A and B are shown apart, each in its own frame.
Chain A
Amino acid sequence: MAEQIKVSLIGNPNTGKTSVFNLLTGLNQKVGNYPGITVEKKVGVCKLSNDTKAHILDLPGTYSLNASSLDENVVIELLLDKSNKDYPDVAVVVSDVENLKRNLLLYTQIKDLEIPVILVINMADRMTRKGISLDIPLLEKELNTKIALISARKGEGIEELKRLIESYRVLSKEPCVNALSFASDYFERLQKAFPDQSLYKLWLVITQDVNFRKLNKQNISITSDFKIKSESELKRLQQKETIKRYQFINNVLKNGLSIDEKSATGLRARLDRVLTHKFWGYFIFLGILLLIFQAIYDWSSYPMDLIDEAFAWASEAAKAALPSGPFVDLITEGIIPGLGGIVIFIPQIAFLFLFISILEESGYMSRVVFLMDRVMRRFGLSGKSVVPLVSGTACAIPAVMASRNIENWKERLITILVVPFTTCAARLPVYLIIIALVIPDEKVFWVFGYQSLTLMLLYFLGFATAVGSAWVLNKLLKIKSKSYFVIEMPGYKIPLFKNVAINVIEKTKAFVFGAGKIILAISIILWVLASFGPNEKFDMAEEIVNKEYPNLSDEELDQKIASHKLEYSFIGYAGKAIEPVVAPLGYDWKIGIGLISSFAAREVFVGTLATIYSVGSDEEETIKNRMAAEISPVTGGPLFNLASGISLLLFYAFAMQCMSTLAIVKRETNSWKWPLAQLVFMSIFAYGVALIAYQVLK
């Protein structure tokens, strides 16, 4: 049997750790979640030689073992738990040659855990340009390890790294610095209390707020007479420890690293002068947002139309090829359109993540955080929340996924919860038809039409509600997140095609397989509800309609039958059942059916009304004229007047009527709690606002 080596890939963010992972594993990787939390877990396999395989775990980027985020907790919880099935045989610490000093801090900490460590120094291709030279043998000796000098960008040095991993047994497990020597008395007593544990491990158990199973803070003070110091004293010791480690690193690098400042080019400084400029910085960012918006709103409409047609064709073809019957109907009208409803989102997701990975990879995203932090912070959001909020204007699904790039869990959660308020493209058909019905086609000040002003107001309203509820959530949610605002501003790099491509593929897969299942299930349920009825009024629809309208043409008859069937289907009865609930908003049971079926996707509203009013075509004019002629049974006037129209617009602006969004929120927050809270809150809010609007205007 082949030998299996477990490898953990560890490193600071922005060191090219993911590039190294992609180089080692290629597409041989799986992305999942750590149990119970929403930190991404990436694993992959790398064949080292004919009889050796490495299982590589790409741990979240971390600056040190003193954790300040969920992502960083994952790293220490694994490295301190020898019984964990992922506990590494060898750790590979990835560092960036330009930030070697800072990256070595983490290295010295990992080394103290007495795990065999290989040091990777990445971005070797930038050394000449930056005037950096390294004395590798000296560094290997001082750091007590083996070093692989690689360039992930050019794919150089990877074979050497594989060779080092394969021969990990020769690596020393000794620490390279005695970082706890500054308070020898205190630490000696700690060691004496637990002689069989490594000292640094004990120290981490005392200082970190993470779950270490048997060995934890309480146990240390109960099972021994060792007294833990107060929090601020501990912090002092941690500061001293850090200074001690840097003293060691400075000493090592004094001889091992030299930088010729003169040959360093100032590309970063010149780009930053423009990109973080108080005016031009925002101007350029706005331009980039417009470009992203254009891509998901406009460019992706071409592949989306193709997908739409392809699935319609597949459904027709299946209908023609297979014998008719309820099971075939399930396939042609339930499953195929359901699958189509999942695939249709792929172009938008792919486009958005193409842009986001380019922005991340190039280093620009940190500048966005820098520019937007002050504004967004007031609302409990992160500078990075801007991208999800803006892309939500096209579709909430990719937008919710985009919030993954926000490190702070609280800010990420708030962003996910408020994004569905922004006006997505699916609301547009509903808005357009209702605005055309109830808002007069006149102009104010000769230029602006009332209709276009209303549409603009609705967009503004969506955005304002999103930001406003973020502010409220920030006050309400009691989530401890001790992530301080210290962000690294990495140097600019040209994005690696391979990294961008893998990221786009991974995100698309996560959507299709994570949220897709739920979307498919709900669309089948909705189809069943609309295609079956509880009594003979549904089953005998054709006979009843034939008897009632004996003189109609075949086409008109078909429309009447479809309308009759929908009225007496389960969903039709549900519409009637909720009529008393929606009547105060100015709606009748037909709109009720529209509201329920909108749950598949908001734009379905228009099509459902077309069926129910037995209008043959989806043509906006025809439906509009039919809707305008509809009489309200209560008032005797038109059903769609200003009051009910505005009420409907507001309901669509605020209600969470999208199963795909709920499915993706479930996937991203890893629990049903948040999507359900979102559904309940947004529905109540929408109902309340629509109610007030109708009652005031009527």
Chain B
Amino acid sequence: MNTTIATLKRGQRALIKEITSDAIPLKLLEMGCLPGNEVELIQTAPFQCPMYLNINGSHLAIRKEIAAQIEVQIIY
């Protein structure tokens, strides 16, 4: 299984790899979810959805199915 934002644990930080799928809404890119940027999982609601993230200083919540499309590399 690939490492994506959906597989992060609370408090984990990771780097966003290349954005390949066009199922990822443009809006997410515009809010700072871009390759090379750092993402941290701050909190999840029950059943892991939605997920509350800090992407490069932008605080966002997204649903798990979108989070599962964004591949990342864990920093720590």
Q: Give residues in A with beta carbon < 8 Å to B.
A: 63-64, 66, 68, 98-99, 101-102, 105, 232, 235-236, 238-239, 242-243, 246, 268-269, 272-273, 276-278, 366, 369-371, 373-374, 484-491
Interface magnitude class on chain B:
20 to 34
Flag if B22 contacts A486 (CB, 8 Å). Answer: no
Is the Cβ of A488 less than 8 Å from the Cβ of B31?
A: yes
Shortest C-beta distance, A337 to chain B (Å), equals 48
Q: Which residue of chain B has the shortest Cβ distance to A279 in the bound complex?
A: B46
A373: which of B19, B57, B63, B66 is its contact (CB, 8 Å)? B63
Q: Would A242 and B30 be within 8 Å (CB), given that A485-B63, A488-B58 are in contact?
A: yes
8 Å CB contacts to A: which residues of B6-34?
19, 22, 25-32, 34
A486 touches B62 (CB 8 A): yes
Contact A484 B61 (CB under 8 A): no
Count of A-B contacts judged by CB separation below 8 Å:
102
Report A-chain residues with C-beta under 8 Å of the C-beta of B27: 63-64, 66, 68, 484, 486
| Complex Cα spacing A243 to B43, Å | 27
A487 touches B60 (CB 8 A): yes
B74 sits at the interface (CB 8 A): no
Given contact pairs A66-B30, A101-B32, A232-B22, A370 touches B61 in the complex (Cβ within 8 A):
yes
Taking Cβ atoms with an 8 Å cutoff, the residues of B that contact A are 19, 22, 25-32, 34-35, 42-43, 45-47, 49-50, 52, 56-63, 66
- The prevalent SS among residues of A at the interface is helix
Give the contacting residue for A63; candidates B31, B50, B62; CB below 8 A. Answer: B31
Contact B45 A486 (CB under 8 A): no
With A101-B32, A272-B43, A373-B50: A488-B59 Cβ-Cβ less than 8 Å = yes
Query: Is the CB–CB distance between A102 and B61 below 8 Å?
Result: no
Known A68-B25, A373-B50; contact A239-B31, beta-carbon cutoff 8 A: no
Q: Quick one: which of A246, A276, A485, A490 has the most chain B CB within 10 A? A: A485
CB distance from B76 to the nearest CB of A (A): 17
Q: A369 to chain B: which residues have CB within 8 Å? A: 61
With A64-B30, A243-B35, A278-B45 known as contacts, the answer to whether A370 contacts B25 (CB < 8 A) is no
Given contacts A243-B34, A484-B28, contact A371 B45 (CB under 8 A): yes
B63 CB to nearest chain A CB (Å) = 5
Are A489 and B63 in contact, with the CB atoms below 8 A? no
6 A-B pairs within 8 Å (CB atoms) are namely A63-B27, A102-B58, A242-B26, A373-B49, A374-B50, A484-B66
Residues of B contacting A243 in the complex (Cβ-Cβ under 8 angstroms): 29, 34-35
Contact in complex: B29, A486 (CB < 8 Å): no
Distance to closest chain B CB from A305 (angstroms): 42
In the complex, given contacts A102-B58, A243-B35, A370-B61, what are 11 additional A-B residue pairs having Cβ atoms less than 8 angstroms apart? A66-B27, A102-B30, A239-B22, A242-B30, A369-B61, A370-B50, A373-B63, A484-B25, A484-B66, A485-B63, A486-B60
